[in-house]
Structure 1
């Protein structure tokens, strides 16, 4: 006679594994490295400085 299997435990473990696989897939698809995030932040800061440099001075 085989071992008794708790079906609730089996179901929950299977659901956890599915969620973990989906999370890993999304991390690969949407994830960015630290270098990519810093490069994007630097580009945004440079663009903001360039925009500010081209503004007209207020007339006072």
Structure 2
């Protein structure tokens, strides 16, 4: 005869393992260092300044 197992404990163990597996994949997918986040925010800020600096004003072309 086989080993007797408690199904409730087996379900909980499987749920913990699934949760841990999901957490590991999320850490691999989303983990960034503070320096990486800072570099990205500075790059976005630089791009926004460049776009705003190249914007044409329509006010100077308005005949009044």
TM-score, scaled to structure 1: 0.71
* 1:50, distance to aligned residue in structure 2 (A): 0.6
* Larger of the two Rg values belongs to structure: 2
2:38: which partner in 1? 38
1:48: which partner in 2? 48
Q: Secondary structure at the match of 1:57?
A: coil
Distance of 2:32 and 2:26 partners within structure 1: 11
TM-score, scaled to structure 2: 0.68
1:15: which partner in 2? 15
